A and B are shown apart, each in its own frame.
Chain A
Amino acid sequence: MAKKKGVRVTIVVEDERLERFSRNVLLEFGFSRHELRVVPYPVGRGSAKDWVEKHYPIEVRALRSKAHQKLALLVGTDADERSVAERFRSLARALQRHDVPARMDDERIVLWVPKWNIETWMLYLSGDPRDEDHDYKHDVKKPDFTAVAKAFVAEYRRFEDDDSIEALASLRVAFVETERFGV
């Protein structure tokens, strides 16, 4: 084994399924468990979302303090009843409130915002395509995260080759965001 590296991707998410999805996708991209760090999050829908917005500026600042180390920050938060764009704006405002400059195009700050929630992506990537107009949170009983992660990476690779491929709108946004990782 080569010298053990420190954490390369900090993960800020609002619940367990987003955590597991994020970790599995990053493992599928080739990161090791030691290169990932999940920032522990609180329980509860409302409180966890607020917590993500509070922690996002903190972690952006921390990342920028280590700019020479090519680290990354992954933020995962469900859009729920709001639009993906609104969620992005909400996160941008969180930076503003804390006097943290907005994301630059070349920064490895990746935002994954499923619409309505991560279950929509999991169903879609499992070959059960759903629309983004309904909440499918309770339709996924026992996710196969390994298979879903493989499917995400496979679809992402297809998107890299041809960005006109068919995909859920929020997933397409996530694929564009994923390019920031440079994997």
Chain B
Amino acid sequence: MINRVYIDNFKCFVNFECRPQSLQLLLGDNGTGKTTLFDVLETLRDFVCTGTELMTAFPSNTLTAWDNRAEQRFELGMAGNGGEYVYRLVVEHDRAGPRNRIKAERLEFDGQPLYEFDGHEAHLYRDDFSPGPVFPFDWSRSAIPTIPERGDNQSLSWFRRQLRKVYVFSPDPLRMLTRSEAELDKPDRELHDLVSWLRHLSQESVDTVSRLRDVLRDEVIEGLDNMKLEKVSEATRALKFEFKFASKGNGRAFSLLFDQLSTGQRNLVALFAILHAAVEKDATVCIDEPDNYVALRELQPWLTLVRDRVEDEDGQCLLISHHPELINYLAAQHGLRFFREEMGPTRAQPFDGKTDELIAPAEIVARGWDQT
């Protein structure tokens, strides 16, 4: 689980630190950096795990607008594998030209080095922290994705595997596709390719898809009898929902393709898919405004499932929302308020609900009383 994030000189973050809980609701006014925090987590994941180029990950227009410094700093603390990891990255920007570079990159486990890059050479350390290979490397990307897993670098490999399990979602049901041309093991942020992800899961994790189908049928979508991936052509599958109503007056059974469901229903399918497929041990799932398009009475049942799965699976779920239902249910124990003084740097502090005996947390937020 990610237990510390430090960001300096990146957009609205200057010397910013937060320590997310296993279940956390990020709340606050528009423009306070909540979604930007998710952007940072996603970017660091891709930078460290898939080798995204520095200029793509951290272009110079991500420097804080009012700050003249050329260095950006990022730190991630992660608990797991019986200890504590700290990942640090310093990016040096060339404001006059396009030659940003990694100034320093370091990965530690329980305070001991596993990997270090000084801008010129990559230094590897074994699991017993004894020095390993040293080799020159390119300062425009991280060497971590290129390091093959071996018997003596299991700690580093563990970190890399777990960082891959940082998921950032901003479900966009308006553009979720009904058809899939291929399996996809990594869903995109907006879940446009949700069906391709389900297709992958139906091969790799049949139980997950069965549980998803069962919960949608038994608790979420009225009249739903079955959900399945139907073959349209050799490569193409379509997600189909079959309905059957108990009362005779409602006519015969019928089916609908995914894009024939309502926007809210598509979002619910996505939300429950996320819960069942992504919330797992040591994974961090970030969901930006899950409440969009969803009916009020669906929210608390989904939230209780989030809470239970995070606890039972030792996972982590960070949610961004302005919705009263989420604020009232989560803010008192799990709220982290983001704020900025006069569009200055972002700060975060636990939600202060001292008056929430008398007034619900959402009403406190609506009145701006969480800011005083």
Contact = CB atoms under 8 A, between A and B. Distances in A.
Given A41-B332, A42-B353, A43-B333, A33 B360 contact: no
Interface residues of B, number: 29
B308 interface: yes
Interface stretch (B33-41, B49-57, B167-175, B219-227): B219-227
Contacts of A51: 357
Interface stretch (A1-9, A65-73, A79-87, A99-107): A1-9
Nearest to B297: A34
Contact of A38 (B222, B298, B304, B305): B304
B332 A1 contact: no
A33 B357 contact: no
Contact of B312 (A1, A42, A146): A146
Contacts of B333: 16, 43
B357 A34 contact: no
B311 A50 contact: no
Contacts of B204: none
A50 B357 CA distance: 8
A32 B304 contact: no
A40 B224 CA distance: 30
Contact of A40 (B221, B223, B246, B361): B361
B300 A37 contact: yes
A150 interface: no
Given A1-B223, A42-B332, A33 B356 contact: no
Interface in B215-271: 217-219, 221-225, 246-247
Given A16-B333, A20-B311, A34-B301, A1 B217 contact: yes
B137 interface: no
A34 B219 contact: yes
Contacts, number: 61
Interface residues of A, number: 26
Contacts of B298: 34
A137 B368 CA distance: 35
Interface in A127-183: 145-146
B328 interface: yes
A2 B246 contact: yes
Interface in A33-54: 33-34, 36-38, 40-43, 47, 50-51, 54
A111 to B, nearest CB: 21
Interface string B285-320: 000000000000110110011011001100000000
20 contacts: A1-B222, A2-B246, A3-B246, A7-B297, A20-B307, A20-B308, A20-B311, A23-B308, A33-B219, A33-B305, A36-B304, A38-B304, A38-B329, A40-B361, A41-B332, A42-B332, A42-B353, A43-B333, A43-B356, A54-B357
Given A23-B308, A40-B328, 9 more contacts: A3-B246, A3-B247, A24-B308, A40-B329, A42-B332, A42-B357, A47-B357, A51-B357, A54-B357
Interface of B: 217-219, 221-225, 246-247, 297-298, 300-301, 304-305, 307-308, 311-312, 328-329, 332-333, 353, 356-357, 360-361
Interface of A: 1-4, 6-7, 16, 20, 23-24, 32-34, 36-38, 40-43, 47, 50-51, 54, 145-146
